[in-house]
C-alpha cells in the first residue's frame, strides 16, 4: 500500500529536473519526517501563491513553473514533492459551493461559474498517522490581506474570497502534526480517496462545456488572478 502512495505518475512528475533541483537546494530529504513535511507544506502554502492555472490537470512541474495555484494544482505539487522525499500521500476529492469563491471571482465570471466547483485536499502519512491537509491553499500574504479587510467584523465564520472557515481570525492553516483546513466548511459532495490526482480527475473533475472552458482559460482566470493580486498587495 505504501508503494502506491509513493509512485510517480504523469501529473506527479517528481523526476522532472526542476523538482529535483528544488529538493536538492532546500535539502528537504535530510530533515526528519515531521520537519520534512512541514518544510514542504510551508513552501507550497506561502511560496506558491494562491492563483488560478490553466486547468486542474497540469503536471506538478508546471505548477512549480507557474509559481501559483489553487487547491487542486497546489495539491498536485505538494504530493509530488512529498513523494519525491519519501512521504506517502493520497488525494481526497470533493465539490465546494461556488459561494466560497465569491470575491475572488466577480461579475460575469462568478455568475457563469458552476454552482459546485471541483475541490480536493491532500492526505499525508507522517510517522504512521494520516493527516488531512487543506490549509496550504491560500498564501499567508493573501490571507492576511483578507483579514485586514474584514476583521474584526467577521471574526467568526467567514465564506468568500477562497475561504470557508468557522474561525476567520485564526483558521487552522499551520501544520504541526495536525489537520489543516481553509475551505472545509464549503464542501458539498465527497468523492472519496484516490491514490493520485490522475485517477481522481479521470473519474471526476470540473464539468464545463468547451466554450466555458475556453473563456475561463483565456479571460476568466486572468481576471481572477488580477483580483487576487490586488487583494494580496493590500497586505504590503
Domains of the chain: 3-233 (3.10.620.30)
Contact 9, 61 (CB under 8 A): no
3-state secondary structure of 180: strand
HEC string for the chain: CCHHHCCCCCCCCCCCHHHHHHHHHHCHHHCCHHHHHHHHHHHHHHHCEECCCCCCCCCHHHHHHHCEECHHHHHHHHHHHHHHCCCCEEEEEEEEEHHHHECCECHHHHHHCCCEEEEEEEEEEECCEEEEECCCCCCHHHHHHHHHHHCCCCCCCEEECCEEECCCCCCCCCCCCCCECCCHHHEEEEEEEECCHHHHHHHCCCCCCHHHHHHHHHHHHHHHHHHHHHHHHCCC
Q: Write down the pLDDT at residue 75.
A: 98
Residues (pLDDT < 50) of the chain are: none
Nearest to 152 by CA among 168, 166, 138: 168
Contact 169, 155 (CB under 8 A): yes
Q: Write down the pLDDT at residue 105.
A: 86
Q: Write down the pLDDT at residue 133.
A: 98
Nearest to 152 by CA among 170, 135, 172, 165: 170
Q: Write down the pLDDT at residue 209.
A: 61
Share of the chain above pLDDT 90, in %: 81
Query: Is pTM beyond 0.85 here?
Result: yes
Fill in the DSSP letter of residue 115: S
Q: Write down the pLDDT at residue 224.
A: 87
Q: Write down the pLDDT at residue 211.
A: 55
Nearest to 67 by CA among 83, 90, 43, 91: 43
- Distance, in Å, from the CA atom of 221 to the CA atom of 223, rounded to the nearest integer, reads 5
- Distance, in Å, from the CA atom of 112 to the CA atom of 223, rounded to the nearest integer, reads 14
Amino acid at each position: 500500500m505504501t508503494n502506491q502512495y509513493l509512485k510517480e505518475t504523469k501529473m506527479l512528475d517528481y523526476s522532472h529536473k526542476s523538482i529535483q533541483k528544488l529538493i536538492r537546494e532546500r535539502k528537504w530529504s535530510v530533515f526528519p519526517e515531521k520537519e520534512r513535511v512541514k518544510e514542504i507544506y510551508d513552501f507550497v502554502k506561502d511560496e506558491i501563491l494562491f492563483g488560478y492555472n490553466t486547468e486542474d490537470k497540469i503536471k506538478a512541474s508546471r505548477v512549480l513553473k507557474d509559481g501559483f495555484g489553487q487547491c487542486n494544482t497546489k495539491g498536485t505539487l505538494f504530493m509530488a514533492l512529498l513523494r519525491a522525499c519519501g512521504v506517502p500521500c493520497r488525494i481526497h476529492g470533493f465539490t465546494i459551493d461556488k459561494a466560497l469563491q465569491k470575491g475572488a471571482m466577480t461579475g460575469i465570471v462568478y455568475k457563469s461559474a458552476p454552482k459546485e466547483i471541483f475541490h480536493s485536499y491532500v492526505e499525508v502519512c507522517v510517522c504512521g498517522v494520516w493527516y488531512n491537509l487543506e490549509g496550504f491553499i491560500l498564501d499567508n500574504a493573501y490571507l492576511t490581506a483578507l483579514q485586514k479587510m474584514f476583521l474584526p467584523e467577521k471574526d467568526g465564520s467567514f465564506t468568500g474570497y477562497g475561504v470557508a472557515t468557522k474561525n476567520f481570525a485564526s483558521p487552522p492553516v499551520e501544520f504541526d502534526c495536525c489537520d489543516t483546513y481553509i475551505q472545509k466548511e464549503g464542501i458539498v459532495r465527497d468523492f472519496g480517496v484516490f491514490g493520485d490526482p490522475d485517477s481522481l480527475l479521470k473519474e471526476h473533475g470540473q464539468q464545463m462545456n468547451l466554450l466555458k472552458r475556453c473563456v475561463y482559460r483565456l479571460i476568466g482566470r486572468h481576471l481572477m488572478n488580477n483580483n487576487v493580486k490586488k487583494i494580496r498587495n493590500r497586505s504590503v
